[in-house]
Chain A
């Protein structure tokens, strides 16, 4: 009996130490309980990443916006889109340019506005927005707001996430609860299904009602390619830092697996994948819809750092065959040169300005004479 105990003593001791480490991490690096605290330390973030999606949502959601995490209100495709300033063309009658997309697109818009005051530059963005979000934002907004030029921002990292429906399933480490439609091809036509809610109010309604929340999960299960119950459901294991890290490793591994079905570092995108086909369709539909709406469509292609010009290469035939205007960042910022990118993987300021200049040049060269006159002859 004693011999047996002696044999298991090290195992028990290791388990005890692991429990101590687990508790110690929770004490030393506690994640701030107040959802409004937006600056936890890097280590606090690091040990929080693996919390379940429901756990993270519980942490950031309160009954009112003032009490909730600021990130909660971003990216919703609801009426808040129409409240953006300027709501419509101002009295100067300058041409309006709207940029839809992720943070890269928003930063581009900011620099375009900074270097050119003959255009009204608006941006409609969401953190980590995937192409489906950007296109849906354009579709939803166009009914209420006319733009002379519409720019659709897409990035390499977003393509494999086209078949997701929410910021909670597409970026496990730091989630955003906003939702967007699930696009799919039906007999070659681009169609979409709307999620049960697309507004912050709708989200709260579902989140605080267990029956509705269950229905939402069922919907996710059916339509969201990245939904995974092991990552989504809140359990007691959320309290353990070790289990959180295990969940994070699992999340990384499943995401990599999913991504590899669409993209490969060496070969680039698989042209036969659903995601690439949907993206091509989105670009064609975006271009045709905008043209029908008398807007000038432009696609802003962000080739992410260390991902080569694969995104440009997979889209080039579609863009050329449909005469879609585009600006691909690889011409100005070689994607394999990290000196052009900052620590958050965005373009460094000077390069972003170059991209903004290039985009304005494209607009100047292609905007119609009618719009030019409207722009007080200042463009150009």
Chain B
């Protein structure tokens, strides 16, 4: 159920209408159910992974913070897991058709998945065992217990993420190495789907456990509140990777939806949809044509494909974030800002403070600083930066092109820091012309990085760079041009970005007189209507 679909529009209207008439506690329960329906629309079975991740971290955090869990809570968690296993693994919702409803005997088909029953029984046994050994665990020494549950939470979360996202990548590379040694191992490839949003919610649950372990956060004792923090639908599939310190209090406290929330929400949703539908979807075909080409592309193809992908990925991902933040605003929540005009960055350090802020700050707090941060010898901080960016690259996908993209940004950041430490040209940095040149240079560097990100293989990366270097001046464009709508919408997008950057992210109605900002919105609405004819493409970050 993507945000730019009629189905989501109908879902939102129903959920929002009911939400507005419910009292606070019921709102939380209702939002949790709505979020699970939203996720289950894609694949119900993977809802169980969210339930497992939620229950595990909720339990571990209580054990870390309180040292014990009262009987009632234990029963609630246990029955929550067992019921979820039954409803999400045993019941085959995809077989629920009108024929099944009509025919009495066809109901059996919905419970016919053998693996589902095996998994269910395993989980029931596991729950019984955990409850039986609970007494022993709760009597462990406090420091030991804290470490044990932190370890358990991180290990299980990373194991689930590793199995679904990285297993095939590592085994395939291992097989290549073994093949080179002259051996012929059996293929370990698993035919598994990557659950949408797994990297996002896993990072949220991990940050919660680590923050409580570090005593930076007081945990919630209500499972429903924590489950909503993990699964709140606007941010579930592609972030922002919200921190519990910011989001949990908003769930716990009674929310008041102010007019400003609604105005901000509508603005964010609308600008996000404009970026996605008009720009990102409008250039998608051209980009796919260049990066999916089975022929020798020209210099013009490479330049156009690279530049358009630079805007596509920004409009696609920041568009998603804007819609997510906007919808959350309408429900009375304030999510963290995820993008802050990143293509106006003058250097890599500024770029990562503006691009996918929730992820870059996560890696800064939970990887870079624990490694030693920017302190210590030059070698140490270079190592820390490169390691952090290597992991950042891998987070995006289990493929070498993402690793290279991460390392590329790591190297850029190291070079920038070395330049900073040498204080080269610092005095002139604020001169407007230097500022513009810096923005342009870094924009080109960022665009080159996107080639690695978008390519399918190392060979393709090499080919595109070769074309860029050796085919200069070949202006024959083979790729399809972007849609009329994208071409018409692009100037408005640039104006919006300039206005936003210069006003430090203020809304149009806060910086422009009403006749002007309403005129801009009218043109945007018009272009959005034109853009509805574009072929809708899935959000790029759904696969990460």
**Which residues of A pack against B, CB within 8 Å?**
9-10, 13-14, 17-18, 21, 42, 46, 242, 245-246, 248-249, 252-253, 256, 306, 334, 336-339
- Is A252 in contact with B289, judged by CB distance below 8 angstroms? no
The answer to whether A245 and B293 touch across the interface, beta carbons within 8 angstroms, is: no
Q: Which 8 A-B pairs have the closest CB atoms?
A: A249-B532, A17-B522, A337-B295, A13-B518, A249-B533, A336-B294, A252-B533, A245-B529
Complex interface: stretch among B103-111, B158-166, B455-463, B477-485 = B477-485
Contact with A along B508-544 (1 / 0, CB 8 A): 0100001101110111011001101101000000000
Chosen A-B contacts, 15 in total, with CB atoms closer than 8 Å, are A13-B515, A13-B518, A14-B521, A17-B518, A17-B522, A18-B522, A42-B484, A246-B532, A248-B533, A253-B532, A336-B292, A336-B293, A338-B295, A338-B479, A339-B295
**Given the known A-B contacts A10-B509, A246-B532, A249-B529, are A334 and B522 also in contact in the complex, defined by CB atoms under 8 Å?**
no
**Secondary structure dominating the interface of B:** helix
Contacts of A10 in B (CB 8 A): 509, 514, 517-518, 521
How many residue pairs between the two chains, A and B, have CB atoms under 8 Å in the bound complex? 61
Shortest Cβ distance from residue A46 to the other chain B in the assembled complex, whole angstroms: 6
Distance A10 CA – B259 CA, assembled complex (angstroms): 14
Main secondary structure of the interface of A (DSSP, over half): helix
Query: Once the chains are docked, how many angstroms separate the CA of A13 from the CA of B509?
Result: 13
Contact present for B529 and A246 (CB under 8 Å)? yes
Cα distance, A10 to B270, chains bound together (Å): 15
- A14-B521, A17-B518 are contacts. A245–B295 as well, Cβ < 8 Å? no
- B interface residues, tally (CB under 8 Å): 26
Contact A245 B530 (CB under 8 A): yes
Please name 11 further chain A to chain B contacts, defined as beta carbons within 8 Å, in addition to the given A10-B514, A21-B523, sorted by A numbering.
A10-B518, A10-B521, A13-B514, A14-B518, A14-B521, A18-B522, A18-B526, A21-B522, A242-B529, A337-B293, A338-B289
- The chain A residue sitting closest to B484, CB to CB, is A46
Docked pose: A249 CA to B281 CA in angstroms: 13
Contacts of A252 on B, CB cut-off 8 Å? 532-533, 535
Q: Which of B466-482 contact A (CB under 8 A)?
A: 478-480
With CB as the reference atom, state the residue of chain B lying closest to A338.
B478
Q: Are A334 and B514 in contact (CB under 8 A)?
A: no
CB closest chain-A residue, reference B532:
A249
B519 touches A17 (CB 8 A): yes
B514 with A9: CB separation less than 8 A: yes
Chain B 92-108, CB-CB to A under 8 Å as 1, else 0, gives: 00000000000000000
Q: How far is the CB of B528 from chain A (nearest CB, A)?
A: 10
A245 to B532, CA, bound (A): 8
Give the Cβ gap from B305 to chain A, nearest Cβ, in Å: 13
**By CB atoms of chain A within 10 A, which of B294, B519, B533, B535 has the most?**
B533
Given A46-B484, A256-B535, A339-B478, CB of A306 within 8 Å of CB of B521: no
Question: A336 to B478, alpha carbons, bound, how many Å?
Answer: 11
Write the chain B residue with the least CB distance to A334: B294
Inter-chain CA distance A13–B523, complex, in Å, is: 12
- The chain A residue sitting closest to B514, CB to CB, is A10
- List the A side residues contacting B480 at CB < 8 Å: 338
Q: Which residues from B are CB-within-8-Å of A253?
A: 6, 532
Q: Which residues of B contact A256 (CB under 8 A)?
A: 535
Partner of A21, one of B289, B479, B526, B535: B526
Contact with A along B265-306 (1 / 0, CB 8 A): 000000000000000000000000100111100000000000
A306 to B480, CA, bound (A): 11
The distance in angstroms between the C-alpha atoms of A338 and B300, with both chains bound, is: 14
- Nearest CB to that of A305 among chain B residues? B480
- B138–chain A nearest beta-carbon distance, Å: 52
Identify the closest chain B residue to A241 (Cβ).
Answer: B526
Q: Which residue of A lies closest to B6 (CB)?
A: A253
Distance in Å from the Cβ of B332 to the closest Cβ of chain A?
19
- Chain A nearest CB from B404 CB (Å) reads 26
Inter-chain CA distance A305–B515, complex, in Å, is 46
Which residue of chain A has the shortest Cβ distance to B292 in the bound complex? A336
